[in-house]
Every structure is written in structure tokens, then in C-alpha cells.
Amino acid sequence: MKTASPKYINVKGGLIDLSTPQVMGILNLTPDSFFADSRIQTEEKTIARVQQILDEGGTMIDVGAYSSRPDGVDISADEEMERLATGLSIINKHFPDVVISVDTFRADVAARCVEEFGVGIINDIAGGELDDKMFETVARLQVPYIMMHMRGTPQTMQQHTHYDNFLKEIFLYFAQKTTRLRQMGVNDIILDPGFGFAKTIEQNYELLAQLQDFDVFDLPVLVGVSRKSMIYKMLGTTPAEALNGTTALNTISLMKGANILRVHDVKEAVEAVKIWQMTTKYQL
């Protein structure tokens, strides 16, 4: 079992210690998220969802307005920003101190969310591949940057699952991008292996089995497997029935060094962290 090493990120002038794994609750401002129960489109539901995340022990809110499901609709930047502006305004009014991450691959959207709505973290599913201004925007804003591995776009990613050397290519992807970001002065980088993005079910499990190897980067690692197809397709169920599998994979991820769990079900993830923490007390 892996013991977490001290890792910190600076969010709006405050240090967050990620050697104690944090739980990031998902807030989808979309009408077409793959998990229907996570879709939030009214002020009342937005407030209720954020309150639920906080009450259940979540310490970060990941707000997204663009569905990255394989058959999701490709909306414009204006529509994405309009959805985000509405949701972020509600959150800021009722929860002014909450740590917010914005889930977007568009640099201009990310910049507006940080500058106009005080968002503290940028979560980019494309690792800068879909907007060549993203890295310079992150460097200018000096906010923590979650960089995910993906090939293609959300609409085409499952056509890009062939790799000559699967793990080597993913590690090279992160090595090249982290080097570039460091050279640009970005201090807080979080790696997301991208479970479910341009990967087969088998590749997802191969990646999970080697998750501890990401420690070579000495950077925090975020795992987002919540109710994904790597669980329900393998088990022959549905996203609605994938909570037990999600908790199992989150627990394995913690044992292999995950620092942030991005989840729909906060209570269960927080409990997994507490149980994992109890076991680490008795490591030799």
C-alpha cells in the first residue's frame, strides 16, 4: 500500500494539503450528462447540490457546462459561458468561500471564470490540445491547472484508442506538457490520467493498475472514475447502478496514491478516504 507524500496547491492564496486526499464534488450545468441524476439546471437545484457536496465532506466543487460524454452535443463557447455564468453567480452568492474548479478546455472561458467569478482551479480535459492559448492563460492567471490525458475531442476520442505503447505514450504526454508548463512559470499542476477518454475498458484497468507510477512526476494526481463505462459496461449494468463499482475503484486509487477523487457521490468517497486513512496508521 502506498503512503501519500506531502503535496500542496495554492488556491487563491491559501495552501491545500493534498497528502490528505480531497473529494471534489461534480456539479453539471448541462442537460445531457451521461449520469442523469447529476444534471443541474435550476437555481434551487444548484444551491441544493453545492450544499449537499459540502455537507457530505467535499472540499472542492467542479463546475462544468460542456458534456464530455462520447455522444455529447458540441456547444459554442458563448453557450458554455452563459451556463457557467449563471451557475457561478448562484454559487458565489450563497457559498462565497467554496473552492471552485471550472471544467473547460477553452482558454477564454477559463479566463472569464477566474477573472469575473473568482474560480480557483482550471480543469482541462484536453491538456491544452483543443485550445493552444490554454497554457499561456494558465500561466498568466497563476491558478492550479488540472491537466488530463485525452486524444481527439469528446466526440471522436473513442476512435483514438490504438497505442503502440499505451503507458509509455501517456507518460510521455505528461512529461512533455509538465516541462512546458514549468518553463512558462506554472507552479501548481495536477495530473488526471483521463479514465474513459480515448481508452478501452481494458486500457482503463491497465492504467489503474499502474497508477502508482505517476509518482515519478512528484505532482498531485486526480482520479475521475465516477460511474463511468469502465464500471457499468464491464459489469453489464448502467451508470445509475455503478456506485458500488465506483467506490471500489476509488479505494484502489487511494491505495495507489490518488490525491483528489472527482465524484458524483461525495459521501461514499469521503468514507472511502476515511477508511483508507485508518489503514495507513498501521503501515509498517
Q: What is the pLDDT of residues 3-43, one digit of tens each?
A: 445 689 999 999 999 999 999 999 999 875 444 554 556 88
Give the pLDDT band (50/70/90) at residue 1. Answer: very low
Angle at 192 between CA 67 and CA 103, to 5 degrees: 35
The yes-or-no verdict on residue 282 having pLDDT over 90 is no
Query: Does residue 57 lie in a domain region?
Result: yes
Residue 242 to residue 225: CA distance in whole angstroms: 10
Q: Coil, strand or helix: which one is 123?
A: strand
- CATH code: domain of residue 71: 3.20.20.20
Query: Does residue 259 lie in a domain region?
Result: yes
DSSP lists the bridge partners of residue 192 as 148
DSSP lists the bridge partners of residue 101 as 62, 121
Q: What is the mean pLDDT of residues 233-241?
A: 95
Question: How many structural domains is the chain composed of?
Answer: 1
Q: Is pTM beyond 0.85 here?
A: yes
Give the pLDDT confidence of 71-94 residue by residue, as tens digits: 667 889 999 999 999 999 999 999
Domain range for 155 = 8-280
Range scoring the smallest mean pLDDT among 118-132, 146-160, 212-226, 253-267: 146-160
Residue 24 to residue 33: CA distance in whole angstroms: 17
Distance from the Cα of residue 282 to its chain's centroid: 30
> What mean pLDDT, rounded, does the chain reach?
93
Give the pLDDT confidence of 115-140 residue by residue, as tens digits: 999 999 999 999 999 999 999 999 99
The yes-or-no verdict on residue 249 having pLDDT over 80 is yes
Q: What is the pLDDT of residue 40?
A: 59
Query: Does residue 111 lie in a domain region?
Result: yes
Do 254 and 273 touch, CB atoms closer than 8 A?
Answer: yes
Q: What is the pLDDT of residue 32?
A: 54
Query: Does residue 230 lie in a domain region?
Result: yes
Query: Does residue 95 lie in a domain region?
Result: yes
Query: Does residue 2 lie in a domain region?
Result: no
Query: Does residue 1 lie in a domain region?
Result: no
Catalytic residues, which ones? 228, 262
Of residues 172 and 32, more confidently modeled: 172
Q: What is the mean pLDDT of residues 177-191?
A: 97
Query: Does residue 46 lie in a domain region?
Result: yes
Range scoring the smallest mean pLDDT among 5-9, 181-185, 232-236, 251-255: 5-9
Q: What is the pLDDT of residue 283?
A: 78
Residue 148 to residue 262: CA distance in whole angstroms: 13
Q: What is the pLDDT of residue 41?
A: 66
Q: Which three cell numbers stand for residue 43?
A: 437555481
Q: What is the pLDDT of residue 209?
A: 98
Angle at 237 between CA 235 and CA 239, to 5 degrees: 110
